[in-house]
Amino acid sequence: MRAYSLEFRKRVLAMCDKGRTTREVARAFDVSESWIRRIKQVRREQGLLGPLPVGGRRHGHFDAARWSQLEGWLRQHPDATLEWLRARVLREMELRCSLMGVFRAVRKLGWSLKKKRFERPSKIGRTSRGGA
């Protein structure tokens, strides 16, 4: 959904400034009363008429020192699980973050936590034919 134009906002606020009630203005412009109250509040508190920015960039939990410490742990324990890393981050870095946060940090460092089998496959082979 797109934001209302600046010109439309100015017309709505001009009507409010003339003493009309929020309900009257909402009916006249076919908008919600809550939207009008919000733009009046933003104008009063911040002096802005245009739409507010939406969303934003996510900031990670790890700084440069924590990145290097995490990479050191991965070098010492390449078989570490996300749960183990998360517990260690909480215990030693005193940093609360989700498993997904730890996963993103590990992936950003170029590491993979996928376990690989380094043993030969079983000689027995398949014991059933699947559809029989």
Query: Residues 70-91: pLDDT tens digits?
Result: 999 999 988 888 999 999 999 9
Residues 11 and 41 in one domain: yes
Q: What is the pLDDT of residue 119?
A: 55
Q: What is the pLDDT of residue 29?
A: 95
Q: pLDDT tens digits for 23-64?
A: 999 999 999 999 999 999 999 999 988 888 777 777 778 888
Across the range 124-132, mean pLDDT stands at 63
25 in any annotated domain: yes
113 in any annotated domain: no
SS3 content of the chain, % helix, strand, coil (to 5): 50, 0, 50
Residues 68 and 104 in one domain: yes
77 in any annotated domain: yes
1 in any annotated domain: no
Across the range 99-124, mean pLDDT stands at 76
Residue written as token pair 């939406």: 54
Residues 68 and 42 in one domain: no
132/129 Cα distance (integer angstroms): 6
Residues 97 and 70 in one domain: yes
54 in any annotated domain: no
Structural domain range at position 88: 64-108
